[in-house]
Structure 1
């Protein structure tokens, strides 16, 4: 566990550090015991398990539910952590003659025995996660219904809870996804399979995030996004370290590089957990005085544990990892890194579950707001839209805001890494990337996002900025080229290591058949055009308005589609085979002509999109819903012209530079070898003259 800064020089280790195989089970048991003890103490402290006055389910349910929730979270974390190790941390062995040659030069050799075992650990943990999720479901129903487990009608009522109640369906979905993760982990053999299985595990964590205290409160959307970030960060942080402890007996020479790679991931997880924890606390606490309540004291305890983990991570980064890199026996140093952190992590997990089982100071009920806008969107109606309010009104999405911050930090770190190495990276590209992400952050959190759920015209501003303006800045920043120059090569640190770090995953995505297909200029243009029709003339648009998942899908999809289209026209990064410049201009104007046609169709239509949303908003200000939709069509048409002109100018400049580069190359070739083409032409003229 460390801060995000992670120099690549830590990964190489001295050849042949030795470790002794020890049974790590009692370390993981310590994690579980610490978590259970913390949740029991927290539930007792807050009184969350006291006997109910009406319909008491019994002590076994009241005390068993938080314990089951803790064990479920820890099993899920171990599953996700083991999969993350297989995706991006553990070395994989590839025997070859090159490995032997590099061994003679003193380069350490990848062991690779821990990699296949990590998938076995993931499958076993996922099986436990499935069973514990079912137990959590049963105990949750018993607690909600106030029925003991041996009630005569318990089974029939449990089925109704699963089939008809949203909470029951969510818990059942999480258990089903955990079962699918078990199958996926058991069948996976490659990093690609582990990556798909890890993505499936994130779906279960997303389901778990919907069960927080603020599911019906005013901060629902904010709390949902922050809870997803919190759960994912905590699961990777805790689970990957626990999985390393389980696998330590098979790591051998891979222990030092694996610990260093995990350290980088843990630093980002710490940032995610800390930021999302602050947001969750703000949503659940109404004032500073709430910190003196029993719930507030648990929040302070969780903050203290997290701060202790951050301090331990920094200490281990500066001392333990460096000591391990030069020590002949590193197992003892590794356990010094792991033991205390696992104990504190278990305590943090237990306190988190105790918080979830306790009533927060802010009531877990929606505020009294009978306005149509609040009933439809879940947010109060914002004030009338003015030019200034485009910049002053904000509605934060923690996931997307965190993506903006992480993107800027990573890009600047890569650029600074090149500068320290003595390489030059154009400042204009760094400025372009920063401007593009800041604009993305405004479009997804600022005025366009605030009014995009109220006004169709504001939604179209958001759409056009994401699909046509932001991609230009990001493409001109050449992020793939920068990453390939700044990121280290895995095989340079360990001979025979064919695992995938960030650089290797980027190359896999860029050169894969799927990536090449969607990046092809014709496919990118067709996707750019067809997505708008499919989105607005089907139920996808309504899904994006009513569901946080749908909204996230809309943002990611149109940003990615726009990026692929712009990259096919003016991209600098390696990728698709781009057509000649005249064909690119033709493709641009053909695509934008359809785009203009789509805007004109919106202006002239009299049919309101999602009428039971925009038509029932009850706005006392602004134009009517149909007039606003027609304004949105004009915006689609108008905003599309400016990026089109910018792309055409960029294409013309690139065309001219390409001609100049071709001419310079030809001049150099002529100076070196002579002009064979001109000589041949002159000979042809001379032959013609002689015949005449």
Structure 2
């Protein structure tokens, strides 16, 4: 089997017993080796460590049966999640689908893998809900005999709740995989799978200790990107093992994915090693040895990726080399998964570093009061938004460069707006404003309003969707690409539902009242992942709102200009009311959280008063500016329509006035007949009897 530009012979090759039987023995051996690398390390570490990890965490030992089952369940869930995400991404972006019906999912192998992978993932996640109830509470399975013990233990730990989220996400993917027919049907399962992968990660080892804000962001990127890259590799290996072809035109996409993801994964793993070892040597702890072992597997994956890219560039790729590369990658990925699952069985050194209350909740100290000098000079990079901004700006500039190389123009103002929007995001999340957004409510509201009201205005003026459509083309002779994906997404019914003005309005305005007056804010501020989630929510809600009002991109449900004006005017009072409530309210929002921090410079009432003022002014001023911008756009659109109509009239292309004149002539003739009255039989018009 060799790579080929199309998959027309996939079915024939898949049913050819010679092709399958020729490597069936190799496939079985490889599968057994991978299964051993995945399933052996986690239980082995659990057995060798015994009760030591539980003693270090001052937790009772639940028994080896609980520990072994939890370790094995972790490994199975991780590899199943990887295969599931790999199948989703392959179906979305790495299919050799072309032509008018490219959006139809005619990939029985990938769909079958998606169904099996998500089913196994859901089963493993469901088992992990039960296993972690006992493992993380240090209780044996015998506790099941006690009435209501299960519900009590479930509430006592974060891991069972996190695995419940994973279970629900996997079930969503499994349910959709049984019925989807079109490309857009995979978008919701993809979002669900991302949440399912992250839920157990963000409440795990990266949630505690000094600098855990860095560790959490690095862990988020590492978990998502390894699932994406390794999952796609595994799907390619499954495809080759089944005797199917790998399209030559798809290989560059896979190499591009691996180049980006593996670069970020290496950087994230270096950051995680620094965070977890907390100043200790690599050989001073079990975690250090595990990190070294995992790096060996990662180096093998990176090396094989570079080798496969090299032979592809030199057009020397063939069946034997492809099988060897994918087989070696599968073994290294299995080793990575097994060691990663084993790392969860032993507490790393950063668990035992003395921490202050601020470090427990924030990951860092905030000893100085947030003066203007501190806010503008005490920077602490927000890894999540910093990397997201770099990726967004890079994609935009590459698209602009592609457009201009083709000889097409793109307004400089839109580029400036897009870049400026991300500069605002990075500034408010990585400067002193981002650092103090958790311990000070007034600073938090400045960051909130910047992400919700200022940055989205600039981003929607960048017109990223229009740019992607203009810089790419749809070619029916090539596999579906960016232009096709964006077009399909824009016609997606779910996106039209999301862009319903009532839903966008409720999301944009209701978020303030639901978040701050329900107790959610106080609960979320205790966790770095939840704080980041809030920031992402602010940015998305603002982007949807302003995209409907002044966005360059045409939304799926556009509003007329008068509707846009009413949309903005309707939102203004809600911001004012919210600000007034904060400034005049007697209750301190998230008071318990701020009391826990016990910062000597904190003045909770003054901070909340400042936050109310920022919410009031920060909501009114941007909306007034939006009204002005909307008026300018309205005027320009009317002038543009007038010029277009004049051109049509001059060219004789517009017969609107001719139709109008003919209608007037018909009305005039009808009125004349009515004035002369009815005609008698046998008389002529104009004569009397």
Quick check: TM above 0.5?
Answer: yes
Match of residue 104 from structure 1: none
Contact 1:126 1:178 in 2 (8 A): no
Contact 1:256 1:321 in 2 (8 A): no
Contact 2:359 2:365 in 1 (8 A): yes
Taking a change above 3 Å as real, the CA distance of residues 338 and 156 of structure 1, as seen in their structure-2 partners, is: farther
Q: What TM-score do you get using the length of structure 2 for normalisation?
A: 0.79
Query: Which of 469, 473, 477 pairs up with 2:462?
Result: 477
Are 1:90 and 2:95 counterparts? yes
Contact 2:71 2:342 in 1 (8 A): yes
Match of residue 615 from structure 2: 636
Taking a change above 3 Å as real, the CA distance of residues 258 and 460 of structure 1, as seen in their structure-2 partners, is: same
Q: How does 1:263-662 map to 2 (within 5 A)?
A: 263-287=255-279, 289-290=281-282, 295-320=287-312, 323=315, 331-362=319-350, 364-365=351-352, 367-369=354-356, 371=357, 380-489=365-474, 491-494=476-479, 501-520=481-500, 524-525=504-505, 527-548=507-528, 550-576=530-556, 578-581=558-561, 584-614=564-594, 617-622=597-602, 624-662=603-641
Contact 1:82 1:243 in 2 (8 A): yes
Taking a change above 3 Å as real, the CA distance of residues 433 and 257 of structure 1, as seen in their structure-2 partners, is: same
Contact 1:452 1:459 in 2 (8 A): yes
Taking a change above 3 Å as real, the CA distance of residues 85 and 217 of structure 1, as seen in their structure-2 partners, is: same
Contact 1:291 1:299 in 2 (8 A): no
Partner Cα separation in structure 2 for residue 440 and residue 51 of structure 1: 47
Partner Cα separation in structure 2 for residue 42 and residue 662 of structure 1: 68
Taking a change above 3 Å as real, the CA distance of residues 13 and 186 of structure 1, as seen in their structure-2 partners, is: closer
Partner Cα separation in structure 2 for residue 315 and residue 606 of structure 1: 65
Partner Cα separation in structure 2 for residue 565 and residue 140 of structure 1: 41
Taking a change above 3 Å as real, the CA distance of residues 674 and 376 of structure 1, as seen in their structure-2 partners, is: closer
Moved more, 537-546 or 63-72: 63-72
Partner Cα separation in structure 2 for residue 193 and residue 537 of structure 1: 36
Match of residue 188 from structure 1: 179
Helix, strand or coil at the partner of 1:227: helix
Output one character per residue of 1:115-134: Cα deviation in whole Å (capped at 9) or x when no partner.
23322222223343455556
Taking a change above 3 Å as real, the CA distance of residues 572 and 60 of structure 1, as seen in their structure-2 partners, is: closer
Partner Cα separation in structure 1 for residue 308 and residue 32 of structure 2: 23
Helix, strand or coil at the partner of 2:509: helix
Helix, strand or coil at the partner of 1:367: coil
Q: What TM-score do you get using the length of structure 1 for normalisation?
A: 0.79
- Report deviation, 1:283: 0.9
Output one character per residue of 1:661-692: Cα deviation in whole Å (capped at 9) or x when no partner.
334334434543499899999999xxxxxxxx
Partner Cα separation in structure 2 for residue 424 and residue 31 of structure 1: 53
Taking a change above 3 Å as real, the CA distance of residues 543 and 525 of structure 1, as seen in their structure-2 partners, is: same
- Report deviation, 1:168: 5.6
Contact 2:75 2:338 in 1 (8 A): yes
Partner Cα separation in structure 2 for residue 455 and residue 488 of structure 1: 48
- Report deviation, 1:581: 4.1
- Report deviation, 1:230: 1.5
Match of residue 105 from structure 1: none
Contact 2:154 2:161 in 1 (8 A): no
Output one character per residue of 1:394-417: Cα deviation in whole Å (capped at 9) or x when no partner.
455443333222212222222222
Partner Cα separation in structure 2 for residue 672 and residue 637 of structure 1: 52
Output one character per residue of 1:30-72: Cα deviation in whole Å (capped at 9) or x when no partner.
366257448867998x998155578888877777765554343
- The root-mean-square deviation of aligned C-alpha atoms, in Å, is 4.3
Output one character per residue of 1:289-321: Cα deviation in whole Å (capped at 9) or x when no partner.
446766435424433432442343233234327
Output one character per residue of 1:453-491: Cα deviation in whole Å (capped at 9) or x when no partner.
222211110111011100111011100001112345374
Q: How does 1:46-195 map to 2 (within 5 A)?
A: 49-50=48-49, 52=51, 66=71, 69-91=74-96, 115-133=107-125, 159=150, 163-166=154-157, 169-170=160-161, 173=164, 176-177=167-168, 180=171, 183-184=174-175, 187-190=178-181, 191-195=183-187
Are 1:239 and 2:224 counterparts? no
Match of residue 227 from structure 1: 219
Taking a change above 3 Å as real, the CA distance of residues 600 and 28 of structure 1, as seen in their structure-2 partners, is: farther
Q: Which has the higher contact order (CA 8 A, sep 6+)?
A: 1
Taking a change above 3 Å as real, the CA distance of residues 673 and 173 of structure 1, as seen in their structure-2 partners, is: closer
- Report deviation, 1:572: 1.5
Taking a change above 3 Å as real, the CA distance of residues 210 and 253 of structure 1, as seen in their structure-2 partners, is: closer
Number of aligned positions between the proteins: 646
Partner Cα separation in structure 2 for residue 638 and residue 168 of structure 1: 41
Contact 1:42 1:298 in 2 (8 A): no
Taking a change above 3 Å as real, the CA distance of residues 131 and 657 of structure 1, as seen in their structure-2 partners, is: closer
Partner Cα separation in structure 2 for residue 253 and residue 408 of structure 1: 35
Runs of 5+ in structure 2 lacking a partner? 665-689
Helix, strand or coil at the partner of 2:48: coil
